[in-house]
Chain A
Amino acid sequence: MRALIAAAIGLAVALALVFTITAMGSPTGRTSPKPLLTTVPSHP
């Protein structure tokens, strides 16, 4: 019984971690202030 509870805790923590990380996602940030180029950049 105690083994089952331990396994359930492990599973629950894994699920919670994955769901939290995916729900948070990644920040979208802001549009770059750099312009669309009409000059040739000298380097990348």
Chain B
Amino acid sequence: MRRKASLILLALAVFFAALSPMLRWYAFPRLAKIPANQYQDMVLEAKDATLVDNSLQEKKVSKITIVQTLKGNVEASEKIEKTLGRDVVVWDSLSYAQDPDGKMVAYIPERYIFDAHSQDPVHATGEMVDGDPVKREGIEFKWPFQTEKRDYEYFDAQTRTSNPIHYKGTQNFRGLEVYYFEQTIPWTQVKFPKKLPVAGITPEQIAKTGMTRWYTTVRKFWVEPVTGAPVYGEEIHKEELRGGTLLGDREKVTAFAGHVKMREDYIEHTVDLVKSNRLLVLLMTTYLPWGFLTLAVLLLALALWLEARSRRPDDPVPTTADEPEPVTA
């Protein structure tokens, strides 16, 4: 009976010992992925911002609100997965900005296609920013699982280029250990958005006047490294309109200047969401593998102990003194 029990314990010990590394290095990389049907919205605000009005005059406004929506397009991702044979996520996103009166000031749609596991960009038809086909390099919106303390290439939708976003240190953000990343995009000429706030005016019409649009930003992200999810973000964003006949004798006018920050209720929501997702990732990468390994050692020890006991005789044989054999003469 003891021998049978020790064999069962040995089988269980091997089971958990094998499960431990396989969960971490085989199952986790295959199971951890961004769901294809994710839907997420985010509200950011730039208080006391500068904006240009319809008569091309700078004005101070109390607040610009930016609503950013990410929507996983399952049908589009399945179509790409069939040709590529790997898990792909297609995010249709919209950055919509409005002034304090609720009037639209920016409307930029994007399609971002990436590997569901590694978050590496995937190039497929439909990848775009504001209707222009692009070929992203690096990441956008989210960092990979198990984010490292190093610089990453980050795609900038305004310039349609990828540039390094620098790791600047580890910080504590509302009880979470986060990596702080920062990217500066120097003044760069960028395209006018396809959809402008003034009805009836097209980017082509503005371009004919000789006016150009310039942009610079300092982008800051606080990223939770286990999930790779940004828990907070800020952007010091400036846009100028330069040259052309519409500005008269002025060389340039500020089209937008503001310090964009996440709204407080969205920060709290994001931190809570990331904390729960972090626990799930840690379960697969740390808690369960180490737990299984410890259990395997304990089970093996128990199996060996039972085995040793089963080999020991239950009742010791009484020792008897050997009597001398008779010797024949």
Contact = CB atoms under 8 A, between A and B. Distances in A.
Interface residues of B, number: 47
A26 B7 contact: no
The B contact surface, by secondary structure, is helix
Contacts of A36: 69, 71, 92-94, 96, 109
Given A10-B14, A37-B69, A44-B265, A2 B92 contact: no
A6 B7 contact: yes
Nearest to A7: B14
Interface in B97-148: 98, 104, 107, 109
Contacts of B78: 28
Given A18-B26, A31-B74, A37-B69, 14 more contacts: A6-B10, A7-B10, A7-B11, A10-B15, A14-B22, A21-B31, A22-B30, A25-B31, A29-B74, A36-B109, A37-B41, A38-B94, A39-B67, A44-B269
22 contacts: A6-B10, A9-B11, A10-B10, A10-B18, A11-B15, A13-B15, A22-B27, A25-B31, A28-B36, A29-B37, A31-B37, A31-B73, A32-B39, A32-B71, A34-B71, A36-B94, A36-B109, A37-B69, A38-B104, A40-B65, A40-B98, A44-B269
Interface of B: 3, 7-8, 10-16, 18-19, 22-23, 26-27, 30-31, 33, 35-37, 39, 41, 43, 65, 67, 69, 71-75, 77-78, 92-94, 96, 98, 104, 107, 109, 265-266, 269-270
